Amino acid sequence: MIAVRATRGKWLRAEPVAALYAQGRVSHVGPLPALEDEMAGFGLDGLSNGRSPDRVDALVWAVSHLMFAARGRGPRVLAL
Domain contains 3: no
CA angle, residues 12, 42, 37, in degrees to nearest 5: 140
| 32-37 contacts, C-beta under 8 A, 24 or more apart | 35/59
Domain contains 62: yes
- Between 73 and 38, the more confident residue is 38
Count other Cβ atoms within 10 Å, centred on residue 42: 20
**Dihedral sign computed on CA atoms, order 66, 70, 71, 77:** negative
Question: How many structural domains is the chain composed of?
Answer: 1
Domain contains 79: no
| Tens-digit pLDDT profile for residues 31-58 | 999 999 988 888 777 677 777 778 988 9
Domain contains 21: yes
As a whole number, the mean pLDDT across the chain is 80
Range of the domain at 38: 10-69
pLDDT at 73 over 70: no
